[in-house]
Amino acid sequence: MYRSPLVKLPLPASFGLRGHWRALPVAVKLLMIFLISRIWYGALGVSFDASTFPSYMQFIDKNLLERQMLESIWYSHAYPPMINVMAGLGIKLFGSQASLFYAACFHLMGYVLAYCVWLLCWHLTASRTAAWVATSLLLFSPAYVLYENWFMYTFPSAFLITAATLLLYYWARLVDAPSEKPSDTGEDSQRSGKAGWLISTFFFLLVILSLTRSLFHLVWYVAIAFILIGLYRDFWRMLVKASLVPLIILLVWYGKNYYVHGSFAGSTLLGLGLSNITTLMVPKKELLPLVENGDLSSFALKSRYTDINELFSYPAEATGIDVLDLPRKATGTYNFNYHTITRLDPVYKADSLVVISQFPFYYLHGVWRANLLFFSPSHMNAYFSAANREAVQSVNYLYNPLLYGAPAHAKQMTDAHFGVEESTYLIEVNTGYGLIIFWLAVLVYFSYYSIWGLISGRGQDKAKMLVTGFMLFNITYVWAISVSVELAENYRYKFLTEPLFIVLATVLVLRLLEYINKRA
């Protein structure tokens, strides 16, 4: 008890601001920090950017979403449907004020994602201080703020994978915990019901993620389900039941794309993306002989950037469905759901595979350059508004060295366009070699702690090993896919798992400090 010299009454030790702060729930404290960070960045000039809709290739035409939303989304094929579902709901519910709806959704996801990071750090380190430091670093980071204020599928994807990770941890902890009252069937039933709800929600979030970002493929979903069943054989019925309905939903979208468009995939643009790191890496003079002898199609010499008119003038019969028949949107930008794209994408895909086999050096050079971009700061995205990029530039002086081991200002390198040396296109690069070293340290340590611990059964906390292994799996998966099939915006891919990486980095740093203290 504290006795004031002015008032002869006993007062609690928590009478001061510090005591009141400690008494606040974590969710309230985090909300206060979240609001302070957003007000601060707003003062710097950051604002929500919804100009991406409907002009960007990921979006369906605004007029079609207004008049024929369900039909247009169902027959679309260029990208999975969820970002257009959100865009359409905004138009339907709020009309000209739809951007306010998008902003509210993204900021809500920003707060909840940060809360998930705090909880994961706290559960995995048992340190509130570490959880607050890691979460605050994330909340104030330019990348987090910029993606949260950019209407695109990137931030929702990061939110979904992080929220799913937290649910997986709670499920694993629940099923691994020994029952205190084995004879109490009512308690066991309640616990089983809660576990079922957690794992069902986990799988639903994974499917929503797959229907938001085609990178998270059907194979990825099935692999996770099988790994969990293999690790938790006693709960295989629960896992099969929880994963089956979401799997059917995902199969419906893939099946629809196969039946209507001839492509069993979440998106029909893999070939166009793959050409960035294959055909565009090779000079035209070296491609030409393969085109002349028929090993490559004539489209191997046509860039999706400079020859896009030819892609959209390719002859095809009308289908009677506007989202497939209109080559351009009302804004004048090209509609990548135009049905001729489904005929050309397999051609680009086949050409890309031929180039990989015939010119492996060029492909490996492309993979190397993709890694240089992947390990650059995530906020380098040139598609952010110029005002938002300029607003965070002063913060880059702190965050680039701290989080990425890179200088504040990016350099430029030639972007592949039928060769690197011949290209006149430039792209920003700011490779953080310190990040690469730390990334490898995280990879090695958690491969041993999580994967080997789960396989050998030597670990003491299976739930922690499972969730850190799940994070490592997704971080590695996103890296491996992004640098092998795309060369352009690889830093944007990295942001998808950046919150998870911060959690693993926090765990690793604390364990290093504990080890040093024990050795001292």
For the chain (520 residues), the mean pLDDT of every run of 10, in chain order, is 38 50 86 97 97 96 96 97 98 95 98 98 96 97 98 98 98 80 60 92 98 97 97 95 97 97 94 94 96 95 89 84 94 94 93 97 97 96 95 94 91 92 88 94 92 76 94 97 94 96 96 87
Q: Half-sphere exposure (CA, 13 Å, Cβ side) for 32? A: 7
Give pTM, 2 decimals.
0.93
Residues 281, 362 contacting (CB under 8 angstroms): yes
Query: Nearest CA to 494 among 507, 481, 505, 506?
Result: 481
Do residues 89 and 139 touch, judged by C-beta distance below 8 A?
no
pLDDT of residue 9: 37
Backbone region of residue 262 per phi and psi (left: phi > 0; alpha: psi in -120 to 50; beta: other values): left
pLDDT for position 310: 85
Instruction: Give pLDDT, residue 52.
Output: 97
What does the pLDDT read at residue 203? 98
Name 290's Cβ contacts closer than 8 Å, sequence gap at least 6. Answer: 296, 300, 354, 358
Query: What pLDDT score was predicted for residue 451?
Result: 84
pLDDT at 499: 98
Residue 519, pLDDT score: 81
Q: What dihedral do alpha carbons 117, 123, 126, 132 form, nearest 10°? A: 20
Domain ranges of the chain: 1-33, 45-177+186-519
